[in-house]
Structure 1
Amino acid sequence: MPGPSAQSPSTPADLPGRGRTAVVTGASSGIGAATARRLAAEGFDVVLGARRMDRLTALAGEIGARALPLDLTDPASVEEFAGSLARVDVLVNNAGGAFDAAPVAEADLDSWQRTYEVNVLGTVRLTKALLPALIASGAGDLLFTGSTAGLISYEGGASYTAAKHAVHTLAETLRLELYDQPVRVVEIAPGMVRTEEFTLNRVGDRDKAEAVYRGVREPLVAEDVADCIAWALTRPHHVNVDLLVVRPRAQAAQHKVFREEI
């Protein structure tokens, strides 16, 4: 089986990721792409997974990574992806998304199913496939990009909050089940993050998407979350960051956001 791309000879030997292979899902945009860039800069041998190969290939060329097609909702795609990897030290389960903002009384069950397939079932599918490699590495890292929506509910968010609560529970359960294995289980739970696609995919209208952030001084951006992910992954391996909640200063809680008048 072909292995991941080789590290550049110019990569300093003292970089924390040197010699470690990191898989990043949902790497074609947003937090996933920012995480891939940051981990490559830290010396990791990065493998990118997503459906949009045009974006993935461009990013891989930019940062010296390997791009592989990955559809987490397709068992055959996950099997082929996992089978092409000779080694995995880090899995960043980042792929996900929200696809509606409807109240439960008006729930679109197709949207609910899509949300669960991507955020939950796909994450479980790939985690199960790569967990043996993470254990075999002797110092594996299993990281979940969760959300504060996985810690608290809010109106109009049930499909997404339910899915992210499931991701939170998945991380907690794996932390217990892997307590005697050489694998850290980490969850990063961001609050308001402004990326190019997340809110637009959810509300389907650019003006409505922009309104979510209107008046909020400095919402988080993808690079802020990538910084947290890289920090957690580059701690000494006996240090397990179980859960890191990160919000912009303007967001004290899910419903408490300071907005300046425009």
Structure 2
Amino acid sequence: MTVTLITGANKGIGFETARQLRELGHDVWIGARDLGRGEQAAAEIGARAVQLDVTDDESVRAALATIEEADGRLDVLVHNAGILLTGAPDGPSALRSFDTNAVGVVRVTEAALPLLRRSETPNVVVVSSSAGSFWAVNEPSRPESQLSGIAMYSASKAAATMLTVHYAKAHPDIRFNALEPGFTSTDMTSAMGGGRPVQDSARTVVRLATLGADGPTGTFSDEDGELRW
């Protein structure tokens, strides 16, 4: 059975990704800052929960140690945890955004690498955003070009995508791919209004999380294919 860890998975796209992967037979770990909420979400779909705060080094180390003790390996890692802070940027908001959306990718990946190397088909998926694409935010036909007040989110997601590329180059034996899931109705985007159902967006994550050994690596894509950066 494929052992999968999804960060920030007690709700939203992360939870729906966990549900869909469980239906495909994955043994899913739901990573959640609040273990109680994680356990409640896991119970709904027959998954397991682990306390995991991507901004806390000790929490990350403990979470991966728990998975190592239970399963001895990790086949799929989905970096889903993220925050969107709106308004005028300042130092604290920049630090918080990058710590969660970009540095969190580094913390969890580095802690997970030993377990991923024990997998026959290791796979890492980074839920990024086309709001971090230089092309998209400068292309008038794209909705990203009309966004305002999310500078720190865009910049931190650009960093997350770039980290994905460099991890793919550094570890050619592990697939690393980033994605734009689509504008989705979640708690994070509630202030913006609208958005499509999480079921639709999670399918893009699931597609990358179930790539075979001959799948691509170092890419940035959405449901329609690779995206320009």
Q: Gaps (5+ residues) in structure 1?
A: 1-18, 201-208, 214-218, 248-262
Partners of 1:164 and 1:119 in 2: CA distance: 6
Aligned to 1:224: 200
| Counterpart code for 1:233 | A
Match 1:40 to one of 22, 33, 47: 22
Q: Note if 1:199 corresponds to 2:189.
A: yes
Q: More deviation in 23-32 or 183-192?
A: 183-192
| 1:135-146 pair list within 5 angstroms | 135-146=117-128
Are the equivalent residues in 1 in contact too, given 2:127–2:180 (CA < 8 A)? yes
- Measure how far apart 1:234 and its partner are: 2.3
- Measure how far apart 1:27 and its partner are: 0.5
Aligned length: 208
- Measure how far apart 1:52 and its partner are: 2.1
| Counterpart code for 1:56 | G
- Measure how far apart 1:221 and its partner are: 2.3
| Counterpart code for 2:180 | A
Aligned to 1:100: 86
Aligned to 1:4: none
> C-alpha root-mean-square deviation of aligned residues, in Å?
1.7
Aligned to 2:143: none
Partners of 1:93 and 1:212 in 2: CA distance: 24
Aligned to 1:256: none
Partners of 1:21 and 1:91 in 2: CA distance: 9
Are the equivalent residues in 1 in contact too, given 2:124–2:209 (CA < 8 A)? no
Query: Percent identity of the aligned residues?
Result: 34
Q: Note if 1:56 corresponds to 2:38.
A: yes
Aligned to 2:103: 121
Are the equivalent residues in 1 in contact too, given 2:9–2:31 (CA < 8 A)? yes
Match 1:69 to one of 47, 51, 59: 51
| Counterpart code for 2:152 | S
Partners of 1:235 and 1:199 in 2: CA distance: 28
| Counterpart code for 1:63 | I
| Counterpart code for 1:194 | S
| 1:12-51 pair list within 5 angstroms | 19-51=1-33
Aligned to 1:236: 212
Aligned to 1:90: 76
| More helix by percentage | 2
- Measure how far apart 1:36 and its partner are: 0.7
| Structure 1 runs, 4 residues or longer, greater than 6 Å off | none
Partners of 1:234 and 1:92 in 2: CA distance: 11
Q: Tell me the alpha carbon deviations over residues 172-203 of structure 1, each in whole angstroms, 9 at most, x when there is no partner.
A: 11111122x1x1111111332111x1124xxx
- Measure how far apart 1:155 and its partner are: 3.4
TM-score normalized by the length of structure 2 = 0.85
CA spacing shift, 1:230–1:190, aligned 2, 3 Å:
closer
Q: Gaps (5+ residues) in structure 2?
A: 138-146, 225-229
